[in-house]
A = this chain, B = another copy of it.
Amino acid sequence: MHTDEQHLTEQLGATGFRLTPQRQQVYDVLRHKRDHPTAEEVFIRAKHAMPEISMATVYNCLDALVKCGMARQVTVDRGATRYCPNMHEHGHCHCDACGTIFDVDIPHELAGLTLPTGFLARHFDVAVHGLCAACVAKKK
């Protein structure tokens, strides 16, 4: 049987990292509430269960999680980087009014983009900006 903790340990290990209580905690925070928190929000949430954790450690842990493929960085606007434990290929839909971020599937047709000759694509970042239903309603 493959527990979540084992998976995390393996992924970290394969990239030369160890599983530490802090990394486990930061990962739990990401998985618990998938609202694309910033490093600071992760820090605040992680402190509830682990009051001694420091901001530098949160950055270190997030960085390790990204490098080992257990989390992704999301940059929908110029503000703080956000983090997401959904590793499935997907894009982000951002409400410019309230800031909510929704995960969206991206169609395979995207692979049909005409790229510069010889360009080797490794990752697609798709961000849709606009207004969510609630904010459209508010404007009326």
Contact = CB atoms under 8 A, between A and B. Distances in A.
A102 interface: yes
B129 A126 contact: no
A119 B132 contact: yes
Interface stretch (A14-22, A45-53, A54-62, A104-112): A104-112
Task: Please tell me the size bucket of the interface on A.
Answer: 35 or more
A91 B115 CA distance: 10
The 8 closest A-B pairs by CB, nearest first: A118-B133, A109-B109, A125-B127, A121-B130, A122-B130, A123-B129, A120-B131, A102-B116
Interface of A: 73, 75, 77-78, 81, 91, 93, 95-96, 102, 104-107, 109-110, 112-133, 136-137
